[in-house]
Amino acid sequence: MKIATKSSARKAILTRRAIWRWHFYAGLFCAPIVIVLSITGTIYLFKPQVESWLDRPYNHLYIEGPRLTVNQQVDAAVRARPGARFKSIEVRPDPTDAARVTISTSDSDFLVMVHPGTGQIMKVQTPSDAPMEIVKTVHGELLMGQAGSILVELGAGWAIVMIVTGLVLWWPRGAQGLGGTVWPRLDLGGRIVWRDLHAVTGVWISSLALFLLITGLPWTTVWNAGFKEVRRMTATDGRQQEWTQSRSSELSDAHADHMGRMAMGTSMSMTRPDLDRLVLRARSLNLPPPVSIVAPSKNTSWQSKRQWTLRSETQNRPRRVTLSLDPVTAEVIGQDGFAAKHPIDKAIAFGIAAHEGQLFGPLNQALGALTALGLVTLSVSSWVLWWRRRPEGQLGAPERLTSEPAARGMAVALIVLGLLLPVLGASMILVGLVERLVLRRVPVIRNWLGLTAPRNAQA
């Protein structure tokens, strides 16, 4: 009986060590990326509030005398850049707000703020230079383009490994009371406080963190490409997906739309409808803001009839709607809304809206911010714990297991994750090859990482 008990205890220790090793490496790699994503993600959660605060100088303006017509405001915006062509105008809830007119030139799109009373140009900015767009670019690609998008996807995959293995390590085993399991034992001081802070924070935010990581996958480069291919093969793709494949892809799509619009020649000299009529019609429909009236372009689905588009771009994606307007009568002659989407697209729309903190108001934002704060706490506390326990001259990773069932069980779990997350799987293969073919054969690196020598070297 004692022998069996000792054997079971030894197996449990080895199992825990195998999981701990993967948890250690996952956290060590993804912690910097997780911190960047958490900070930028928290800022982006409050995009409506931040943009409202930044736009204060352009809202509720004093107007002496009659307002300019919407067409006159658009004409003023187009004149702000030589050769510019009108693209869209935002339907503001208050007519005294500065007109937000987007124009296209041969070089770029520009957002032009126009005083509705005087036609004065109050601000000209490329949309990509807007503060929240910069935050979004950092969050999506770390300012590194397509390579950054893949790195973010890789960091998200390893973060999932970190959370799953962390939950297994946290699972109570003979604990006395709830201290250190449900709440941190702050009175014990020292390393115990950091350990409890790490473990307890992890268990409280793990489900929300996994939700954020999983709902972020539709924006990734590799995973989403595979997802789209599966949908194509299973005939569940339906119409073009509403979300972009990555931040780089989003910027590329915006450039393609810009070039298509320039090629079509949507210029100031085109026959423009009575935009005041369209704006009044848009306000009467009470669509979720922000709402834009968009001129026809080469890529507009209703372009053959040169219909104009009225588009709600609210971050609460289930409430988004795109309408086609007759430019003369302002009547709605086409509609594309949430109800017409495939169930898969509906599910993803709910997930993205929750991911951006806009599905159910301030509570959604608060949960997202608390989760991001928890992820930063996990990352910082993991580095503190590692720094305090690392041996002199070594990385301090848990000992590697080569033949124990625990190691094989962990390998099976990681293979499953690698198949579901291709970038993660590819990185595991690469790390395994580099470790076996290079790192184990360099004594200094091998000792620092705590690896065993290759068999031919041991012999």
Establish if 74 belongs to a structural domain. yes
Query: Quick one: tokens of 379?
Result: 């990352």
Q: Which domain holds residue 295?
A: 61-131+257-340
Write the burial class of residue 117 (CB in 10 Å: 0-12 exposed, 13-18 middle, 19+ buried): middle
Nearest to 378 by CA among 203, 234, 252: 203
Establish if 82 belongs to a structural domain. yes
The rounded Cα 161 to chain-centroid distance in angstroms is: 18
How many domains are there within the chain?
1
What is the reported pLDDT for 244?
67
Establish if 347 belongs to a structural domain. no
Structure-token match 């997802």, residue found:
227
Establish if 6 belongs to a structural domain. no
**Looking at residue 94, what DSSP letter applies?**
S
Establish if 289 belongs to a structural domain. yes
Write the burial class of residue 234 (CB in 10 Å: 0-12 exposed, 13-18 middle, 19+ buried): exposed
Cα–Cα dist 105/314, whole Å: 26
* pLDDT tens-place string over residues 331-346: 999 999 998 898 999 9
Pairing of strands 121-125, 99-104: unpaired
Peptide bond into 131 cis (omega under 30): no
Q: Quick one: which H or E segment has residue 26? A: helix 2-45
> What is the mean pLDDT of each successive set of 10 residues along the chain, which is 459 residues long?
51 63 86 96 96 96 93 96 94 95 92 96 93 94 91 94 87 63 75 85 93 93 90 81 64 56 50 92 95 81 67 95 93 91 92 95 96 95 86 74 60 86 93 86 82 63
Task: Tell me the three state secondary structure of residue 323.
Answer: strand
| Nearest-10 crossing angle of helices 70-78, 275-285 | 110
How many of the other CB atoms lie within 10 Å of CB of 212? 22
Measure the CA dihedral 325/329/333/337, to 10°. Answer: 40
Establish if 367 belongs to a structural domain. no
Establish if 333 belongs to a structural domain. yes
What is the reported pLDDT for 304?
46
* pLDDT tens-place string over residues 51-100: 999 999 999 999 998 999 999 999 999 999 999 999 999 999 999 999 99
What is the reported pLDDT for 25?
85
Q: Give the CA count within 13 Å in the CB-facing half-sphere of 343.
A: 1
pTM comes to 0.86
Phi/psi region, residue 451 (left: phi>0; alpha: psi -120 to 50; beta: rest), is: beta
Q: How far is CA 193 from CA 168, 181, 204, in A?
A: 20, 12, 16
Phi and psi at residue 308, in whole multiples of 5°?
-95, 155
Nearest to 117 by CA among 66, 79, 76: 66
What is the reported pLDDT for 216?
93
Establish if 320 belongs to a structural domain. yes
